[in-house]
């Protein structure tokens, strides 16, 4: 047992056993066992009881929820696992914590309607909304995309993510990991790695290490169009192919795209990975309205 493992009363392994449940690989359930990581997440959130409200996604057995509830700020938890959601409601409901059982995303296209309703209510009250989550990579990517669509509904995110996700989020042209996440982050977010997290901090132990990151939406930036996401997906879909080939259409010939690239002082056969985020957005705007 690691010296900073969560106490026996809130030990995820014991709670899951008592509930007659088991970690589900299909849900990417890896429970945080290291109390020092939980403390780092709480510190990183910089909670102000006078104006903050919190959304915790994927609270699991509530190891982090317990500390967030003790901060005295309004807290909404979204948990997909029915058994865990029921446990969280029984345990933390009396402390004023609201628990939504369900997916944080509705078909990966928008935020959960009940969650959205609460966010808009908090916004109308002038609250500062902060997100905290420990979610698998395949959920974090669409969640972050949806959060970028509603940047006025949150002010900070503290995410416990796989190391690969953190690297992709902070990647730039020239990095092997540079892609859609790096471009979106450069344009719309301020990100910072708060601490690295060993895979041994989780139960069951995952195959990769993780990191706690801080994510803040930038202000006064262009609106994020759905078509730009499709543009980035296509542009980075085959890294060895030139951008003009990947995004061309009958109504958008290769020559037109190459001309736009050359106007921006790039070679006509440039690949997406060689363009900085702002120039990817400019190329999209020059050739767009065809990806919506």
Confidence label for 22 from pLDDT (cuts 50, 70 and 90)? confident
Q: What value does the mean pLDDT take over residues 62-86?
A: 94
Above 90 in pLDDT, residue 123? yes
- Structural contact between residues 178 and 171, judged by C-beta atoms closer than 8 angstroms: yes
Which residue(s) pair with 106 in the sheet? Answer: 110
Averaged pLDDT, 73-89:
96
Handedness of CA 67, 83, 213, 204 (dihedral sign): positive
Q: Between these two residues, 43 and 240, which has the higher pLDDT value? A: 43
Name the CA radius of gyration of the chain, rounded: 21
Round to whole Å and give the CA distance between 185 and 176: 16
Q: How many CB atoms lie within 10 A of CB 267?
A: 11
pLDDT in tens, 182-236: 999 999 999 999 999 999 999 989 999 999 999 999 988 888 888 898 999 999 9
Domains and their CATH numbers in the chain? 8-217 (3.40.50.150), 226-287 (1.10.8.100)
- Nearest partner of 252 among 241, 260, 264, 242, judged by Cα: 260
* d(C-alpha 265, C-alpha 258), whole Å: 11
Q: Indicate whether this model's pTM tops 0.85.
A: yes
How far is the C-alpha of 112 from the C-alpha of 58, rounded, in Å? 13
Residue-wise DSSP of 50-75:
TTEEEEEE--TTSHHHHHHHHTTS-E
53-64 mean pLDDT: 95
Q: Is the pLDDT of residue 122 over 50?
A: yes
pLDDT for 12: 85
227 vs 102, 104, 173, 288, 289, CA distance in Å? Answer: 28, 23, 22, 8, 7
């Amino acid at each position: 047992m690691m010296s900073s493992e969560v106490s026996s009363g809130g030990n995820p392994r014991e709670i899951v056993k008592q509930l007659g449940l088991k970690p589900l690989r299909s849900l990417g359930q890896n429970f945080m066992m290291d109390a020092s990581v939980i403390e780092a997440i709480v510190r990183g959130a910089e909670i102000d009881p006078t104006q903050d409200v919190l959304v915790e996604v994927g609270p699991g057995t509530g190891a982090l929820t317990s500390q967030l509830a003790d901060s005295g700020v309004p807290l909404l938890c979204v948990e997909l696992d029915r058994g865990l959601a029921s446990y969280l409601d029984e345990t933390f409901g009396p402390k004023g914590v609201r628990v939504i059982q369900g997916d944080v995303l509705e078909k990966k296209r928008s935020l959960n309607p009940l969650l959205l309703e609460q966010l808009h209510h908090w916004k109308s009250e002038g609250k500062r909304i902060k997100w905290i989550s420990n979610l698998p990579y395949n959920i974090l990517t669409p969640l972050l995309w949806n959060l970028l669509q509603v940047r006025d509904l949150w002010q900070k995110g503290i995410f416990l993510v796989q190391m690969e996700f953190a690297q992709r989020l902070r990647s730039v042209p020239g990095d092997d990991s540079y892609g859609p996440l790096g471009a979106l982050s450069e344009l719309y977010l301020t990100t910072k790695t708060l601490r690295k997290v060993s895979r041994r901090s989780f139960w069951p132990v995952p195959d990769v290490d993780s990191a706690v990151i801080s994510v803040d939406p930038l202000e006064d930036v262009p609106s994020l169009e759905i078509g730009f996401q499709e543009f980035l997906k296509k542009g980075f879909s085959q890294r060895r192919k030139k951008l003009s080939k990947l995004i061309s259409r009958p109504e958008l010939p290769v020559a037109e795209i190459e001309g736009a690239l050359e106007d921006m002082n790039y070679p006509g056969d440039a690949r997406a990975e060689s363009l900085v985020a702002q120039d990817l957005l400019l190329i999209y705007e020059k050739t767009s309205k065809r990806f919506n």
